[in-house]
Amino acid sequence: MTHGRTRFIIGFLAFPVLLYLVYVISPYAQAFYIAMTNWRGVNANPQFVGLENFRRLLDDAVFWKAVWHNLLLLILLPVGTITIALFFAYLLNVGGEGRGVGGIRGSGFYKVVFFFPQVLAVAIIAVLFQQVFRPDRGGMLNGPLMALGLEPIGFLSNPDIALWSVLGVLIWQAVGFYVVLFSAGMASIPKEMYEAAQIDGAGRAAMFFRVTLPLLWDTVQVGWVYLGIAALDVFAVVWVMTAEQGGPDHSTTVIAAEIYRNAFDYFKFGYASAMGVVLFFFTIGFAVLALRLSRRERIEY
């Protein structure tokens, strides 16, 4: 019986595992190999250069600037998005008026409104915010300022604030999904726990930190990992929205943008693959570290 079950399991999994090896593991292996060559995308027999591409990365100031920008986004995007999403989700689900615990009136409609950016392609969002940040009277933000006689703000042309503008767009685009995700998690928390906390004299803030957040921690943990991975892969917004695809003066460039630029503008596919390998280990390392640091005893209810 055991032998037959083993054969069934192997036969059932063989094809999916084969597909995974061919379409996932194989490209990774090829990328690692290309990273140790000087392949330019057209030469059929690239020269093997070992770790030379990785050594060049150590002296590449633009690459390290991109790494720094990714690290900033890695911290600020999850913190900003989760904080805002938790606030709105708690308001929608627990912030109703009157006695008892309930959501505000029309919470379902507000969830749809919050979720709306998720149905837009990232490139479309980038184009929309290009218009929002325009430095003339046609800009949604600068138009009113100029009408009041104030100087326009170079949201995407000022190197000191361009990255913050990109961060604002990323948070705006992501918040809606996590509002809905956290709302679903809060809806599964028994109302009796909130009612017991109210009887003990807990206010809304105390209920959030002592009831909602501990019981929602697993969902927050998953959201943190997803947002961290998204922060390491913000190519589309940066490439479409910013000046010079990562400018001005590389003030908004990220690793993914430098990979694309080196591969398809400079035809340095080996060097770009080395950047990709570094990004791969950054992503894996972040996911492992985030899961370990945020791990806590599971609360059953």
Say what the pLDDT of residue 13 is. 82
| Mean predicted lDDT score pLDDT of the chain | 86
pLDDT band, residue 300 (cuts 50/70/90) = low
Say what the pLDDT of residue 262 is. 92
**Residue where the block lists tokens 């300022």:** 145
For residues 110-135, average pLDDT: 88
Question: Quick one: tokens of 181?
Answer: 């995700």
Cα separation, 145 vs 152, in Å, equals: 6
When comparing pLDDT for 13 and 279, which is higher? 279
Checking if the pLDDT of 126 tops 70, the result is: yes
When comparing pLDDT for 204 and 146, which is higher? 146
Helix H, strand E, coil C: the string for the chain is CHHHHHHHHHHHHHHHHHHHHHHHHHHHHHHHHHCCECCCCCCCCCCECCCHHHHHHHCCHHHHHHHHHHHHHHHHHHHHHHHHHHHHHHHHHHCCCCCCCCCCCCHHHHHHHHHHHHHCCHHHHHHHHHHHCCCCCCCCCHHHHHHCCCCCCCCCCCCCCHHHHHHHHHHHHHHHHHHHHHHHHHHCCCHHHHHHHHHCCCCHHHHHHHHHHHHCHHHHHHHHHHHHHHHCCCHHHHHHHCHHHCCCCCCCCCHHHHHHHHHHHCCCHHHHHHHHHHHHHHHHHHHHHHHHHCCCCCCCC
For residues 173-178, average pLDDT: 92
Say what the pLDDT of residue 56 is. 93
Checking if the pLDDT of 100 tops 90, the result is: no
Checking if the pLDDT of 10 tops 80, the result is: no
For residues 236-261, average pLDDT: 91
Cα separation, 253 vs 71, in Å, equals: 12
| Dihedral pair phi/psi, residue 296, rounded to 5° | -150, 170
pLDDT band, residue 227 (cuts 50/70/90) = very high
Residue 173: name the closest of 240, 221, 219 by CA. Answer: 240
The CA angle 234-140-256, to the nearest 5 degrees, is: 10
Say what the pLDDT of residue 293 is. 75
**Per-residue pLDDT tens over the stretch 85-98:** 999 998 888 766 55
When comparing pLDDT for 215 and 63, which is higher? 63
**Per-residue pLDDT tens over the stretch 265-285:** 989 999 999 999 999 998 888
Peptide bond before residue 46 is cis, with ω within 30 degrees of 0: no
Number of residues that this document lists for the chain: 301
Say what the pLDDT of residue 164 is. 94
Domains of the chain in start order, with CATH, are: 58-293 (1.10.3720.10)
For residues 178-193, average pLDDT: 85
pTM of the complete model: 0.85
CB atoms within 10 A of CB 95: 17
Say what the pLDDT of residue 103 is. 67
pLDDT band, residue 102 (cuts 50/70/90) = low
Say what the pLDDT of residue 71 is. 93
**Per-residue pLDDT tens over the stretch 48-57:** 988 999 999 9
When comparing pLDDT for 67 and 243, which is higher? 67
